[in-house]
């Protein structure tokens, strides 16, 4: 893993900085009850999160109804209910992963500009970082609605690098999934993945990253 050229970092949120699976399970459960639909289990949520809330809701609606038309027919009501329930519990059932604070301190001590780049809606991401005491580490936070497209498209990384005033080749992407690796590769950013996050039920070591770490503070600097 060669990081000598790196001078900035973009870091994913869910599954990388904070274990938010509990929040997703609770918010989805409340949404589904409100709509009179069956519940989903934790394993389904774990393999479905990571591609944005819209994708999560559509996959959930398809899963619980078995109806290919359900994601569109139910989506607007589901989206309104989900936003309300998620914002009400945002961070309540979530925990910062071990080594994250120490890792962020190490990155900040190097003088690197740091950005949080997530597919989570910005209205969810910012309050979560504040609640967990992580917001102060980041110069900027970009949610999944900040740009025209989400990861794994490279556009969010390219735009974030531009905003930080950094070249992609000098900007490390740190994430937990194929989404992060694919986006980084296409954008020209080096990428390191944590091994403990959410990767859509797939082995994270198949993602083709430049390196893998068990804790954020294990990043070789």
95-106 pLDDT, tens per residue? 999 999 999 999
Q: Which residues contact 160 (CB under 8 A, 6 or more apart)?
A: 10, 115, 117, 140, 142, 171
Would you state the pLDDT for residue 52?
87
Residue of 178, 183, 175, 184 lying closest to 200 (CA atoms): 178
Residue 96 belongs to what H/E stretch? strand 95-96
Would you state the pLDDT for residue 80?
97
Residue 172 belongs to what H/E stretch? strand 171-175
Extract the tokens encoding 171.
């900007």
Q: Which residues contact 104 (CB under 8 A, 6 or more apart)?
A: 114, 134, 137, 216
Q: Which residues contact 78 (CB under 8 A, 6 or more apart)?
A: 31, 35, 57, 60, 61
Which letter, b or e, does each residue of 58-86 get, where b requires 16 or more Cβ atoms within 10 Å of its Cβ? Answer: bbbbeebeeeeebbeebeeebeebbbebb
Please give the Cα distance from 134 to 129 (Å, whole number).
Answer: 5
Residue of 171, 64, 154, 82 lying closest to 121 (CA atoms): 82
Q: What share of the chain is helix, strand, coil (3-state, %, to 5)?
A: 50, 15, 40
Confirm whether pTM is higher than 0.75. Answer: yes
Would you state the pLDDT for residue 1?
65
Extract the tokens encoding 141.
């936070």
Extract the tokens encoding 89.
């519990």
> Is 23 designated active site?
no
Catalytic pick from 12, 14, 23, 180?
Answer: 12
Any idea which residue has 């599954």 for tokens?
Answer: 15
| List of the chain residues with pLDDT < 50 | none
């Amino acid at each position: 893993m060669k990081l000598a050229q790196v001078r900035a970092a973009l870091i994913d949120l869910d599954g990388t900085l904070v274990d938010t699976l509990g929040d997703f399970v609770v918010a989805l459960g409340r949404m589904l009850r409100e709509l009179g639909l069956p519940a989903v289990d934790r394993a389904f949520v774990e393999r479905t999160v990571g591609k944005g809330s819209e994708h999560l809701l559509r996959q959930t609606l398809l899963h619980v109804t078995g109806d290919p038309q359900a994601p569109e027919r139910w989506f607007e009501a589901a989206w309104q209910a989900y936003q309300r329930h998620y914002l009400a519990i945002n961070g309540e059932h979530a925990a910062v992963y071990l080594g994250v604070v120490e890792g962020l301190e190490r990155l900040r001590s190097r003088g690197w500009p740091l950005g949080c780049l997530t597919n989570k809606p910005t209205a969810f991401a910012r309050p979560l970082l504040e609640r967990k005491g992580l917001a102060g580490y980041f110069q900027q936070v970009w949610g999944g609605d900040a740009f025209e497209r989400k990861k794994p498209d490279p556009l969010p990384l390219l735009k974030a690098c531009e905003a930080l005033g950094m070249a992609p080749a000098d900007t490390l992407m740190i994430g937990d999934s194929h989404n992060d690796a694919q986006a980084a590769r296409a954008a020209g950013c080096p990428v390191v993945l944590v091994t403990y996050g959410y990767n859509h039920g797939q082995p994270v070591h198949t993602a083709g990253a430049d390196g893998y770490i068990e804790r954020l503070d294990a990043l070789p600097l």
